[in-house]
């Protein structure tokens, strides 16, 4: 069982200024690696990706990402919100910078967590937030249950987030994006053994590492062909050779998500 660092706790530690010691504790299981440029890609904006949402605490501290799939519905990871109450989270759209004040802030009126969720390495890492305020931004399309062909090994996937830019580093003030290839299930199984649940997860990354999502990116999107196909979920450290990022395989949960989007 791989021990994961939870974005929520890392973000809380950062927000509290709880210092290097606490953060080191949370990231210790993955601290073996040399810092790598995580989302090794480039900075971008919410103007370019209007459906990418920040999920923050009530004080505005970002701890996860999410994807707008309807004016009042945001797809995120179960592990981001399972311990939250509707009062304790906000969704922020149209804000490229963590320290910005622009965009739209919404309260959350309902948190749906996949009822099968226990922890990220067991699967079912999907949640849907219902917003109190409509987001005036373009929503993303998401995969349907029959789109399973999108996960062909080698397909180019795009990830986005404000997470840490190295395994033990700080969050990025500006939204970042990178592309990573989808990895075959058998390669992912080689990396993660039985923690990789192929029905519920898909891996993406280079076998040599170097480009990946990291802490704070969880809940955010993995797009394939411009369609939301995954949710940033977990990994062993970040951008380490032999350890790709693991994403929720959204085709498996498409029906459940649609049922939530329809309410």
User: Which residues are catalytic, by number?
Assistant: 79, 125, 218
Q: Give the per-residue contact string, 205-244, with ligand ARG (x = CB under 6 A; - = no).
A: -------xxxxxxx-------------x-xx--x------
What is the nearest approach in angstroms of ligand ARG to the Cβ of residue 20? Answer: 19
- Regarding 181 and contact with ligand ARG (CB under 6 A), the answer is no
The residue among 5 and 254 lying less far from ligand ARG, judged by its C-beta, is: 5
Nearer to ligand ARG by Cβ, of 94 and 235: the residue is 235
Residue 158 parent element (H or E): strand 156-161
Using CB atoms, what's the residue nearest to ligand ARG? 235
Q: Is 19 exposed, middle or buried (0-12, 13-18, 19+ CB in 10 A)?
A: exposed
72/117 with CB nearer ligand ARG: 117
**Strand pairing report for 62-70 and 104-113:** unpaired
Minimum distance from residue 82 beta carbon to ligand ARG (Å):
12
Please report how close the Cβ of residue 13 comes to ligand ARG at its closest, in angstroms.
13
The tokens of 154 are what?
A: 């080698």
Nearer to ligand ARG, 55 or 70 (CB): 55
Q: Are strands 42-43 and 73-76 parallel, antiparallel or unpaired?
A: unpaired
- Torsion 108-106-248-216 (CA) sign: negative
Q: Which of 201, 203, 65 is nearest to 122 (CA)?
A: 201
Q: 205-239 in b/e burial notation, b at 16+ Cβ within 10 A?
A: beeebbbbbbbbbbbbbbbbeeebbbbbbbbbbbb
Supply the minimum distance, in Å, between the C-beta of residue 71 and ligand ARG. Answer: 26
Q: Taking the complex as a whole, how short is the minimal distance between the CB of residue 182 and ligand ARG, in angstroms? A: 13
Q: Which two tokens stand for residue 187?
A: 């390669």
Q: Which of residues 130-149 bind ligand ARG (CB under 6 A)?
A: none
Smallest Cα–Cα separation from 39: which of 153, 156, 164, 155?
A: 164
Contact 69, 130 (CB under 8 A): no
Give yes or no for a contact between 143 and 227, defined as CB atoms under 8 angstroms apart. yes
Q: Count helices and strands (H / E) in the chain.
A: 5, 13
Based on CB atoms, which residue is closest to ligand ARG, 140 or 214? 214
Subset of 154-173 contacting ligand ARG (CB under 6 A): 163
Q: Which of 6, 90, 158, 176 binds ligand ARG (CB under 6 A)?
A: 6
Report if residue 66 touches ligand ARG, rule: CB under 6 A: no
The answer to whether 95 touches 159, Cβ cutoff 8 Å, is no
Examine residue 4 and tell whether it contacts ligand ARG (CB under 6 A): yes
State the nearest-atom distance from the C-beta of 171 to ligand ARG, in Å: 10
Alpha carbons 103 and 101: distance in angstroms, whole number: 7
Single out the segment in contact with ligand ARG by CB under 6 A; choices: 3-11, 89-97, 139-147, 181-189: 3-11
Nearer to ligand ARG, 232 or 260 (CB): 232
The residues binding ligand ARG (CB under 6 A) are: 4, 6-7, 163, 212-218, 232, 234-235, 238, 245
């Amino acid at each position: 069982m791989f021990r994961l660092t939870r974005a929520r706790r890392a973000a809380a530690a950062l927000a509290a200024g709880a210092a290097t010691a606490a953060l080191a504790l949370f990231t210790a299981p993955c601290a073996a690696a040399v810092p790598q440029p995580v989302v090794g890609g480039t900075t971008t904006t919410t103007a370019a990706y209007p459906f990418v949402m920040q999920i923050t605490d009530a004080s505005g501290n970002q701890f996860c990402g999410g994807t707008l799939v309807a004016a009042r519905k945001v797809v995120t990871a179960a592990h981001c919100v399972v311990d939250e109450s509707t009062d304790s989270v906000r969704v922020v759209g149209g804000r490229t910078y963590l320290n910005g004040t622009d965009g739209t802030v919404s309260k959350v009126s309902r948190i749906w967590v996949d009822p099968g969720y226990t922890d990220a390495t067991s699967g079912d890492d999907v949640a849907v937030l219902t917003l109190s305020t409509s987001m005036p931004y373009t929503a993303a399309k998401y995969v349907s249950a029959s789109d399973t062909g999108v996960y062909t090994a080698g397909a180019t996937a795009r990830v986005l987030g404000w997470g840490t830019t190295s395994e033990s580093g700080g969050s990025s003030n500006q939204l970042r994006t990178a592309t990573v290839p989808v990895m075959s299930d058998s390669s992912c199984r080689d990396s993660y053994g039985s923690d990789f649940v192929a029905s519920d997860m898909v891996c993406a990354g280079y076998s040599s590492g170097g480009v990946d999502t990291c802490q704070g990116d969880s809940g955010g999107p993995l797009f394939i062909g411009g369609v939301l196909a995954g949710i940033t979920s977990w990994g062993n450290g970040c951008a380490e050779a032999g350890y790709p990022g693991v994403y929720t395989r959204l085709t498996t949960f498409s029906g459940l998500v649609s049922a939530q989007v329809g309410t």
